[in-house]
Amino acid sequence: MSNINFSNCQIMKIIYSIFFFFILISASLSAENGSKLWLRYQSASSTKVSLAQFSSIVCLEDGDILRSGANELKMAYSEMTGKEMPTSGVPQSNSLLLGTLHNKYIRSLNIGKELAQLGSEGFVIRRVKLNADSCTVIASAGEQGVLYGAFYLLRLLQTNTYSSNINVKEHPSYKVRILNHWDNLDGSVERGYAGHSIWKWDELPATISPRYAEYARANASIGINATVLNNVNASPKMLSTENLLKVKAIAAVLRPYNIRVYLSINFSSPKELGGLSTSDPLNPDVRKWWKNKAAEVYKLIPDFGGFLVKANSEGLPGPMDYGRTHVDGANMLADALKPFSGIVMWRAFVYEPGDDRVKLAYNEFHKFDGQFRDNVIIQVKNGPVDFQPREPFSPLFGAMKKTALMPELQITQEYLGQSNHLVFLSSMWEEFLDTDTHAAGDGTTISKLTTGEVYPQKITAFAGVANIGDDANWCGHHFAQANWYAFGRLAWNNQLSSEQIADEWIKMTFTSPPIPLLKERGVRDSSLLSIKKMMLTSHQTAVDYMMPLGLHHIFAWTHHYGPEPWCDIIGARPDWLPKYYHKADSIGLGFDRTTNGSNAVGQYCSPLREQFNDVSQCPEKYLLWFHHVPWDYRMNDGKTMWDELCYTYDKGVQSVREYQKIWDKAESFVDAQRFAEVQSKLRIQARDAVWWKDACLLYFQTFSKRPIPYDIERPVHDLDSLKAIKLDLKHHN
């Protein structure tokens, strides 16, 4: 027992101090719904440097887009300092200058050539001497670059990586960095797991939701400059004058953030909406209808981007309905858009039954190489099937040398646990971009091909199917925000590492309380590092517990959420059923796509086709994609294929359990609401991982007739009870 005596007054002081300490702690850990995304500046006040170091902000010229950048800086300044940012008309010592080559101060810096090379969206941020004063400048050839430079500077401050002798030079990898919303006019979102559509068609154009501007800010902050507002399964009504007026209203909110609006169109619009008797692309009335429609659109929205088209795919109409080709369809639309500098993004997601499904898009498209207009770009999903947990790249990349091609990635996690599983997709996209296609010799990576470095492309673009809805946290899962963030960052710079992207996102998103404060409280850096590690391994983990070793499309028929490798639906298209893909039998597992099988390997360039064709050289992550492999085939580590399958599923389950521990340990530095919400999603993910493991292993065991190795966790389900699961789709779809 201590013998120190306190007076009443001292005791009161201690009580007050404890009370205020708890108030402070609880304020910094106050409930947070995630709606601010990564745009949090409040904490920067306690980082090494903040915007307060600048004596004033000087906008050297006027312009809506430049003003958005300046406003963001001013808002951040207020959040960081609690004061208004001083503004000035002329540069002073230590000002932050924003301007383009139109301004004499920027011209006097002699960086005109450099800025011209970086283009109107590129920028420099630099410490410069103007007369006798030292200032920091965000300069660009166009006001768009100033906007991106402002966000870049803020990111440096948010992540504590700003240095006072800053010298940054940036320009985007792709011209069009575009989100594809699969949002319908009735407010539903196809494959959307974050609530309803953010576009409130019923209230537009009279009511403008404040979310539109928030959406624009968030996209601009990561360099996204385009958006397709509606589903590729498009309603012809989208192009009605009434709806175009609503699109015009959205475009007006997005424009100051340098975001152009695009629309998905239904190929039958001339017939369905225009009342014509046909939508044949070679029919003069149809061509005229599209020209007039394009003129109407551009009259309302002069900077309209163009059309995205899903044609002759999954039951949608297209040129083939009239005996025409993809070229006829795409070029007709391109001609209508050409006078207004609009573009057509024509999707290659087609699979008319016939051959092995993975070969169909290549079969249909590569023969048209060189025949599309120069304002057409072919939008190709990363893999040859459909956004599976892991696919080899689509062989169309590298095969079409005289046609502009753009990747389509899926940010919404249709096949990766939807908004319940923590899966950081950046690693998968990085793997895809870094893949060497060998199309023009070694080093012909997809990133080089799609930026036009190998075969020049007039248009370059990078598309991602959005995971955004009207949920408070935008994406359904707090960590799904990281996928939106990563998509934008990779579209801006396709050489960024996932590690850097994760690092930025964590620091910008979980800044409450700020990192330095955490350190004072003794929260070790290791928590942040563990979260980063969790993110970086999470894609492989999901592959491990869902579809390891090249397995694919063994999902439940309707919802694409859980496993149903046994699924059989009488009368269904065979290539919509899991058995088509896994081909399990008493001999082994996997699809033979070698020269002895469907010869899909033949669509890849040498030496990939030989590697994929040879079971001993094929990367094990694609083994069952390309080969029907005997159950007792020896893997590189000496295990049989069956044992490897079992251990890999188990590894996936164990990894999710590790994630739960990592997250629980991070409780002290994450606000209560986001902590609890992620914790509860990880519990679902852990249960789902076991569901996947048990379903797949117990089902495949009926063919392999081998024991599940005894040192791994035993199944906790019966196969029959798993087969009986029918999800309530309202929750999942």
- Binding residues for ligand GCV, per CB under 6 A? 182, 190-191, 231-233, 310, 314, 349, 386, 414
Rounded distance, CA 314 to CA 352, Å? Answer: 8
Query: How near is the Cβ of 180 to ligand GCV at its closest, in Å?
Result: 9
3-state secondary structure of 422: coil
Q: Which helix or strand (DSSP H or E) is residue 95 part of?
A: strand 95-100
Q: Which residue among 64, 242, 296, 314 is the active-site one?
A: 314
Are 678 and 663 a contacting pair, CB within 8 Å? yes
Question: CA nearest 624: which of 416, 397, 423, 390?
Answer: 390
Dihedral angle sign, alpha carbons of residues 306, 312, 317, 323: positive
Rounded distance, CA 225 to CA 252, Å? Answer: 14
Are 699 and 719 a contacting pair, CB within 8 Å? yes
Are 315 and 351 a contacting pair, CB within 8 Å? no
Beta strand 167-170 with 123-130 is antiparallel
Query: How near is the Cβ of 451 to ligand GCV at its closest, in Å?
Result: 23
DSSP letter for 43, please.
G
Please classify residue 324 by burial: count the beta carbons closer than 10 Å to its beta carbon, then call 0-12 exposed, 13-18 middle and 19+ buried: middle
Query: How near is the Cβ of 732 to ligand GCV at its closest, in Å?
Result: 13
List, in sequence order, every beta strand (DSSP E) within 627-709: 629-630
Are 506 and 534 a contacting pair, CB within 8 Å? no
Beta strand 306-309 with 343-347 is parallel
Distances from the Cα of 675 to the Cα of 354, 521, 565, angstroms: 49, 18, 34
Rounded distance, CA 497 to CA 429, Å? Answer: 10
Alpha helices in 222-265 (DSSP H): 241-254
Question: CA nearest 61: which of 114, 115, 102, 109?
Answer: 102
Query: How near is the Cβ of 118 to ligand GCV at its closest, in Å?
Result: 34
Query: How near is the Cβ of 190 to ligand GCV at its closest, in Å?
Result: 5
Helices vs strands, H then E, count in the chain = 24, 15
Query: How near is the Cβ of 347 to ligand GCV at its closest, in Å?
Result: 7
Rounded distance, CA 416 to CA 427, Å? Answer: 13
Concerning whether 314 is annotated as a catalytic residue, the answer is yes
Rounded distance, CA 275 to CA 270, Å? Answer: 6
Q: Which is nearer to ligand GCV, 143 or 364 (CB)?
A: 364
Beta strand 133-140 with 123-130 is antiparallel
DSSP letter for 640, please.
B
Query: How near is the Cβ of 586 to ligand GCV at its closest, in Å?
Result: 32
Q: Which helix or strand (DSSP H or E) is residue 308 part of?
A: strand 306-309
Question: CA nearest 544: which of 621, 468, 611, 492?
Answer: 621
Concerning whether 352 is annotated as a catalytic residue, the answer is no
DSSP string, 432-460: HHH-B--BTBTT-BHHHHHTTSSS--S--
Rounded distance, CA 646 to CA 650, Å? Answer: 6
Task: Mention every residue, 6+ apart, whose C-beta is less than 8 A from residue 142.
Answer: 100, 119, 120, 121
Q: Which residue among 414, 544, 650, 694 is the active-site one?
A: 414
Edge-to-edge strands of the sheet including 95-100?
A: 56-59, 95-100, 133-140, 123-130, 167-170
Task: Mention every residue, 6+ apart, whose C-beta is less than 8 A from residue 550.
Answer: 390, 590, 620, 621, 622, 623, 624, 625, 626
Rounded distance, CA 408 to CA 465, Å? Answer: 7
Question: CA nearest 466: which of 430, 501, 491, 443?
Answer: 491
Query: How near is the Cβ of 694 to ligand GCV at its closest, in Å?
Result: 25
DSSP letter for 147, please.
H
Are 695 and 719 a contacting pair, CB within 8 Å? yes
Question: CA nearest 628: which of 638, 618, 643?
Answer: 618
Q: Which is nearer to ligand GCV, 20 or 557 (CB)?
A: 557
Q: Which residue among 355, 386, 431, 632 is the active-site one?
A: 386
Query: How near is the Cβ of 53 to ligand GCV at its closest, in Å?
Result: 47
Query: How near is the Cβ of 561 to ligand GCV at its closest, in Å?
Result: 12
3-state secondary structure of 138: strand
- Token pair belonging to 461: 């673009």
Q: Which is nearer to ligand GCV, 36 or 310 (CB)?
A: 310
Residue located via tokens 């639906």: 569
Query: How near is the Cβ of 658 to ligand GCV at its closest, in Å?
Result: 31
Query: How near is the Cβ of 251 to ligand GCV at its closest, in Å?
Result: 23
Q: Which is nearer to ligand GCV, 411 or 506 (CB)?
A: 411
Q: Which is nearer to ligand GCV, 88 or 558 (CB)?
A: 558
Concerning whether 364 is annotated as a catalytic residue, the answer is no
Query: How near is the Cβ of 415 to ligand GCV at its closest, in Å?
Result: 8
Give the amino acid at 406. M
> Which residues are known catalytic residues?
314, 386, 414
